[in-house]
Structure 1
Amino acid sequence: MTSGIHHVTAITRKIQANVDFYAGFLGLRLVKRTAGFEDAGQLHLFYGDAAGSPGSLVTFLAWEDGSPGRVGVGQPSEIALAIRPEAIGFWLTRALTRNVPMTGPAQEFGEPVLRLKDPDGIIVKLVGEAGVAGPAPHAVPGIAPDDAVQRIRGVTILSGHPAETAGFIGRHFGFRPVAEADGIVRLAGEGGDVLDIRDAHGFWTAAPGTGTIDHVALRAPDRAAVDAAAARLAAEDAGGTNRHDRTYFYSLYVREPGGALLEYATDGPGMTVDEPLEALGRTLFVPGHFNADPEDIRARLPQFSLPGEERMTERDLPFIHRVHRPDDPDGTAVVLLHGTGGNETSLLPLGVRIAPRSLVLSPRGRSVEEGHPRFFRRLSATVFDQKDIVAEAEAFAAFMEGANAAYGIDPERTVFIGYSNGANMIAAVMFLHPGVVPNAVLLRGMNVLETVPAADLSGVNVLMLTGRSDPYGPYAADLEARLSAAGAAVENRLLPAGHDIGVADFEAARDFKRGVVG
């Protein structure tokens, strides 16, 4: 039975910091970027050696600004990468000069080990393995080929049932016990890859989230081996399994008795099935089973820059937000405010289509209702928390001041587009903080302020798009009247729609944007 590690998959909160660490600091090659196979709105990056070889791949699901998880029982806790033993000094110096958190070197199972922490707190061990030689080490400026990461050395799994975990992996995936020390049973595959099963009995259980390792994938020679493993697992009644064609490999998933998720993945067809070797990692792949427009998916995914590429650093501002940079900017900007049940990615496809050459800024509301972000709380369908509106409007005004400076946004060439709760927030900001919003498209908007302050909105342009059958539609006229009385140029256009957004909204917003800022 062929045995070894195919890849390791973890979860990151900030994709740019992740790229900077794995491609910039460690010198791994970005060999694939895809939309998630389970969730198209989730970016998935694959790092590896120069050829994207099985056994070198470390992959990350991007839960941008997602909640941290908890490392615990039933989960991998460390990734080990193999380097030549004599390269330990190079990496020690590199970590010290780059301010990368580090401990060691120390000896583990007779090998020198340097422990690092990536930006999410995941432990990455650099292990000096005697005689190691990866198939295609990726050397980059500042890292000589002899110092480069060669391949994956191993993974540590925390198990409350270490004997059962080790036996399960041995029976079904061909690893064998080779050593034991300090509460760890070391299993080895045919190629020398190791799985360290740490006895974590009594430790807290794992919780999914950013900064955790989701699963380790073990190597299968071909599809027949995966199907045979599925039959063995079923015969043993080992629990639920599922099989998937992941384009680059075919695999099954199963949980071992200690709870850790394992994948069994074929070596082929490999990373070059849809990109030539020299261009690996340059093109975003969108799985076809979503039947979605790739451009809409692309708009939702976080952007990043590889080392040496021009970049825009995201700033720490009062609202979690997403910035979408166009390839050919025209100096305009669009600010998107989502409705209830949405988030900072919800309106990005609409915004990018309305203004393909604009910088698009999309914040996430900070109030929460039944688990969903909003820009302010509501007490009933048409009664709203006035203190929350005032406080969040002030915070949003400060957010825009910081965003304008950080991202080079020209306020006079900016259009704010809000839907439902987001539209209502924009309207409230116009009255409470005149001057912040010069141009606005309000999709299904209404007035939410019980006391509307006097405001001079002269020179402000507003397009209201109201659904004829929208249950909140009758409230739009009051907002239109108040904006007009304050001096804004307002058009309230009635559309044959309900509370949902359609093609007519897109076309009207696009034409409005072109008319007021180009």
Structure 2
Amino acid sequence: MNKITGLHHITAISGNAVKNYDFYTRVMGLRFVKKTVNFDDPHTYHLYYGDETGSPGTILTFFPWEDISTGRRGTHMATEIGYSIPEGSIDFWLKRLEKENVIYNKPSSKFGEVYLTFIDPDGLKVELTVPEHPDPRTPWVTGSVQEEQATRGFHHVTLTLEDIQPTADLLVSVFGYTLEKHHTNRYRFASPAGETGGFIDLVEAKGEARGHVAGGTVHHIALRVPDEATQLHYRGILEERGLHITPQLDRKYFRSVYFREPGGVLFELATDAPGFTVDEPVATLGTKLMLPPQYESMRAELEQQLIKLD
């Protein structure tokens, strides 16, 4: 079982929490699966969006800081988040983004797949891709985003790097990814779990300015491991390769270790268990402020201070 099984989650930074919540639940039609706080800064939310249960591979999370400066896309960072959407849904999303005054580009094609790029309210770059093969994952649907349009989870994440080779070596020789496609300076690596595991695209941008992680940028990406034993297996390998990696940390909904890959991007390895139903039933996910045990004594203070989302 010692395998990476694709993308687990992607964490980004936003500004206003209410705008973020409105955009990803109402406009994008994602389910709000968890309202909790940043484990390192409990006076700040940590918001989770995904499918019905917050399945690994669908989870987009945000740290919203009201007065955060605007970030800048560049090298040494993840620069694009790609979602999978069904065949025939591009026109729906074009009209929806237009109606919501969202900045977007006309549909284009990459590796033979049609995609639509837009910018979220904080400047985060998101792509909606119609995959070559239909994505079988069951989507979360809303009154205005139905099954024939809804996102299925992550299709890919893009890392922009000065030199892709050290990162590519890590993906292939340690994590079992394979180079699937290549066009000019973009290289697509496939997860050992296959297409629904989420691709990792490496874009080589020699001479481009280094990015700045702040509002509207990706903070880190998390790869999925089935259990703690697999996580510790990889932790040992990464230590042997000279990469500084954290001890295992309890994030309540999964166990995590963090490290910077050779290109400078912050990576996490996150376990499947225990999942988001550990403290709420599926039917009511995301409806209450859920706190880790160390901050439960601060509940009254935090509930008064944290902005209401709806």
Instruction: Please classify the TM superposition score into its range, dividing by the shorter chain length.
Output: over 0.9
What amino acid is the match of 1:23?
A: T
SS at match of 1:178: strand
Per the alignment, residue 239 of structure 2 pairs with: 234
CA contact (8 A) 1:3 1:175 kept: no
Rounded to whole Å, the distance in 2 between the matches of 1:108 and 1:248 is 35
Is the 8 Å Cα contact of residues 112 and 132 (structure 2) preserved in structure 1? Answer: no
Aligned partners of 1:143, 1:122: CA distance in 2, in Å? 21
State yes or no: 1:252 paired with 2:277: no
For the pair 1:56 / 2:61, whether they are aligned, the reply is no
Measured in 1, the distance between the counterparts of 2:298 and 2:165 equals 48
For 2:69 and 2:307, the matched residues in 1 are separated by 16
Q: Give CA-to-partner distance per residue, 1:463-505, whole Å, 9 cap, x none.
A: xxxxxxxxxxxxxxxxxxxxxxxxxxxxxxxxxxxxxxxxxxx
Aligned to 1:46: 48
Q: Could you tell me which residue of structure 1 aligns to residue 302 of structure 2?
A: 297
Task: Give the counterpart of 2:268 among 253, 256, 263.
Answer: 263
Q: For residue 148 of structure 2, what is the aligned residue in structure 1?
A: 146
Aligned residue among 178, 185, 189 for 1:183 = 185
Of the structure 1 ranges 38-47 and 126-135, higher mean CA displacement relative to structure 2 is found in: 126-135
- Please name the residue that 2:100 is paired with: 98
For the pair 1:113 / 2:115, whether they are aligned, the reply is yes
CA distance in structure 1 between the partners assigned to 2:84 and 2:176 by the alignment: 21
For 2:247 and 2:43, the matched residues in 1 are separated by 22
| Greater radius of gyration (CA) | 1
Find the counterpart in structure 2 of residue 75 from structure 1: 77
User: Share of identical aligned residues, percent?
Assistant: 36
Partner of 1:287: 292
What amino acid is the match of 2:232?
D
| CA contact 1:155–1:195 (8 Å) conserved in 2 | yes
The Cα of 1:300 is off from its aligned counterpart by: 2.6
RMSD across aligned C-alpha pairs, in angstroms? 1.4
Deviations 1:341-364 (A, max 9, x none): xxxxxxxxxxxxxxxxxxxxxxxx
Contact 1:53/1:135 (8 A) holds in 2 = no
- The residue type equivalent to 1:284 in the other structure is L
Instruction: Give the match for residue 211 of structure 2.
Output: 206
Report deviation, 1:290: 4.1
Work out the CA distance in 1 between the residues paired with 2:136 and 2:221.
19
Instruction: Report the secondary structure of 2:43's partner residue.
Output: coil
Q: Is the 8 A contact 1:84 1:131 kept in 2?
A: no
Could you tell me which amino acid in structure 2 is paired with residue 233 of structure 1? L
User: Does the C-alpha gap of structure 1 residues 182 and 196 become closer, same or farther in structure 2, counting only changes over 3 Å?
Assistant: same
> Does the residue aligned with 2:238 lie in a helix, a strand or coil?
helix
The separation in 2 between residues aligned to 1:157 and 1:25, in whole angstroms, is 26
Partners of 2:281 and 2:99 lie apart in 1 by 35
Question: What runs of 5+ residues in structure 2 fail to find an aligned partner?
Answer: none
Instruction: Measure the CA separation in 1 of the matches of 2:10 and 2:302.
Output: 25
TM-score for both structures, normalised by structure 1: 0.57
8 Å CA contact 1:101, 1:117 repeated in 2: yes
Identify if the C-alpha distance between structure 1 residues 170 and 3 changes in structure 2 by more than 3 Å, giving closer, same or farther: farther
SS of residue paired to 1:204? coil
How far apart, CA to CA, are the structure 1 residues paired with 2:139 and 2:13?
24
| Alignment pair present for 1:277 and 2:282 | yes
Given the two structures, how large is their TM-score scaled by the length of structure 2? Answer: 0.94
8 Å contact from structure 1 (residues 35, 286) kept in 2: yes
Higher helix fraction: Structure 1 or Structure 2? 1
Residues 291, 142 of structure 1: CA spacing in aligned structure 2 closer, same or farther, 3 A cutoff?
closer
Report if the CA contact (8 A) 2:245-2:257 is conserved. Answer: no
Choose the corresponding residue for 2:38, options 36, 39, 42. 36
Hey, what's the Cα distance between the residues in 2 that align with 1:29 and 1:284? 15
C-alpha distance in structure 1 between counterparts of 2:181 and 2:289, whole Å: 42
Aligned to 2:15: 13
Which structure would you say has the larger RCO, counting Cα contacts within 8 Å and 6 or more residues apart?
Answer: 2
Aligned ranges for residues 434-473 of structure 1 at < 5 Å?
none
Give the secondary-structure state (helix, strand or coil) at the position aligned to 2:256.
Answer: strand
Correspondence list, 1:406-445, <5 A? none
- Give distance in 1, aligned partners of 2:95 and 2:296: 48
